[in-house]
Amino acid sequence: MALMQTLPLITHTSFAKPIAWRKGISVSVEEFLADVNYLATLLPAGKHILNVCKDRYHFSVGLAAAIISNKVSVLPPTHTPEMLRQLQIFSPDVFCLYDNDDCDIALPRFNYPTMPKHPAKKVSIPRINTQQLIAIVFTSGSTGQPNPHPKKWGSLVQNVQAQAKRLGLSESNEYSFIGTIPPQHMYGFESTVLLPWQSGNAISSAQPFYPADICSAMQSIPAPRILVSTPLHLRLLLDSELNIAEPALLLSATAPLSYTLADKVETTLKAPLIEIYGSTETGQIATRRTIDGDSWQLLPQIKLTQQGEQVFAEGGHVEVATTLNDIIELTEPGFFLLHGRTQDLINIAGKRSSLTNLNHHLNAIEGVIDGAFFMPDELSHDHVTRLSACVVAPNLTASQLLAALRTKIDPAFLPRPLLFLETLPRNATGKLPREALKKLFDTSINKDLSCTQN
């Protein structure tokens, strides 16, 4: 990589090819580049840009215009007033690029312009310095201050190129990408914008919300289609029992999928479902086809090393050895097993496990649609604090479920109480925040909802 000074913005080999689809109409590479050049001449002077465009095509034009103007896109985890305040401290010149009328981001704002009909002008694909800072992705941090993670062009490109190769993508496939996750999220940024750019494929501008929206977005673009999604959206899509135009490939990230859901998705949608493993710090580093087993395969050149309890990723696009916040078991070279996040380590009376591991077993039970364990705050070190769990399992009784669990986990981890629910309190990215679970169990204790399905 060191020898290579620049890499192209996009890898499309023809200016006439579609790079995006908007409401059933294709946008050619040539039109895209003209839009990018036009927007770049209008952007405010600030070096940092918060691109909140809802239309994925607008987002991609905003990102490209920022890149060719040597601006840095900032991607915070939320847009709360406190986070915006922190962003302004971090980068006082930050401004917001938006395309929806109800945008209320309290920063200097710039409205995505109505694009004029560009005069026929020769465009070229810009080449970007591999050392150029493209984005700063923030994580919440534990002390209230967001942690910045800088992303350079060379590393981003190397990452999605490796991903494209793993997934077997190339320009000759003419794929269209539809995302149920926003491009402002690291996963959406890589897999719904950079991946199509760097594999010569096209982006759907849609940001589908309801299952019916996903279906019409899929219907509005030609096959082959790639649906980039999450366990939450895939479950809702299946439960809606709508007819969906078949995807050629499905991607999922943000939380591990259960075998049961993955199998059902593959059978119903008749396409392979690949899970992506990564983090904000490292980008994407491994994949697995869930129905083939638990093992994750690292992207080529990525190596994991273990030092004590900690596992570090290094190599390829990961320039500096980076700690992974997960319990990882190195198996054969290039493969590993994920046993949960290190923060969710469980220790009950000397027996150790992790919430992710327990959740995996819970969700693997036939009849369990969704389920989660919860470790309540310890009231006293003298008392053993027990796990709680909540499940969505309309056709199981509590005793059936506990009997099945007993065959998988140590009795110390059996939940009490066990709540039967209609849905779990997952957030926008399908994750289950501990606070949400805590609230759930705090309120349900008084309601005596436990074991209602006897």
Partner 1 sequence: MTIMIENNKALQLEVAELMVQALNLDTSANEIDPDAPLYGDGLGLDSIDILEVALVISKRYGLQLKADSENNHEIFSSLHNLTSYVAANKAS
CB of 355 to partner 1, least distance (A): 20
Q: Using the rule CB under 8 A, is 423 a contact of partner 1? A: yes
68-97 positions binding partner 1, by CB under 8 A: none
Report the C-alpha gap between 167 and 190 in whole angstroms. 14
**Site residues (CB under 8 A) for partner 1, limited to 197-216:** 208-213, 216
Q: Does 399 engage in binding with partner 1 (CB under 8 A)? A: no
Q: Got the DSSP string for 377-444?
A: PPS-TTSPPPPEEEEE-TT--HHHHHHHHHTTS-GGG--SSEEE-SS----TTS---HHHHHHHHHHH
CB of 299 to partner 1, least distance (A): 30
The footprint of partner 1 on residues 147-166 (CB under 8 A) is none
Kindly determine how many residues on this chain lie close enough to bind partner 1 according to the rule CB under 8 A: 23
Given candidates 331, 427, 435, 452, which one binds partner 1 under the rule CB under 8 A? 427
- Regarding 426 and contact with partner 1 (CB under 8 A), the answer is yes
Euclidean distance between CA atoms 383 and 187, whole angstroms = 41
Please report which helix (H) or strand (E) contains residue 49, including its range: strand 48-51
Q: Is 219 in the site for partner 1 (CB under 8 A)?
A: no
Instruction: Kindly state whether residue 395 participates in binding partner 1, applying the rule CB under 8 A.
Output: no
CB of 208 to partner 1, least distance (A): 7
What ranges in 317-371 are assigned the alpha helix state H?
355-364
Round to whole Å and give the CA distance between 155 and 319: 8
Q: Report the distance separating Cα 434 and Cα 380, nearest Å.
A: 20
Which structure tokens are listed for 51?
């691109």
Nearest distance in Å: CB 395, partner 1: 16
Segment lying near partner 1 (by CB under 8 A), choices 86-94, 319-327, 329-337, 436-444: 436-444
Which CB sits closer to partner 1, 224 or 425?
Answer: 425
For partner 1, the closer of residues 76 and 154 by Cβ is: 76
Q: With binding defined as CB under 8 A, does residue 231 bind partner 1?
A: no
**Would you count residue 236 as binding partner 1 (CB under 8 A)?**
yes
Under 8 Å between Cβ of 375 and 389 = no
Angle at 101 between CA 96 and CA 104, to 5 degrees: 50
- Mark the segment that binds partner 1 (CB under 8 A) among 10-18, 156-164, 317-325, 424-432: 424-432
Give me the least distance between CB of 103 and partner 1, in Å please: 14
For partner 1, the closer CB: 16 or 428: 428
Other CB atoms within 10 A of residue 78 CB: 12
User: Does residue 24 bind partner 1 (CB under 8 A)?
Assistant: no
Q: Should residue 319 be labelled a site residue for partner 1 when binding is judged by CB under 8 A? A: no
185 vs 426 by CB, closer to partner 1: 426
Q: Whose Cβ is closer to partner 1: residue 241's or residue 309's? A: 241
For residues 27 and 206, which CB has a smaller minimum distance to partner 1 in the complex?
206
Q: 336 in helix, strand or coil?
A: strand
Residue 448 zone, left/alpha/beta (φ > 0; ψ -120 to 50; rest): left
239 binds partner 1 (CB under 8 A): yes
Q: What are phi and psi of 242, to 5 degrees?
A: -85, 160
CB atoms within 10 A of CB 403: 12
Among 316, 313, 315, CA closest to 280:
313
Element (H, E) at 158: helix 153-167
Among 97, 107, 421, 437, binds partner 1 (CB under 8 A): 421
| Least gap, CB of 137 to partner 1 (angstroms) | 22
Q: Which residues bind partner 1 (CB under 8 A)?
A: 208-213, 216, 232, 236, 239-240, 242, 421-423, 425-428, 440, 443-444, 447
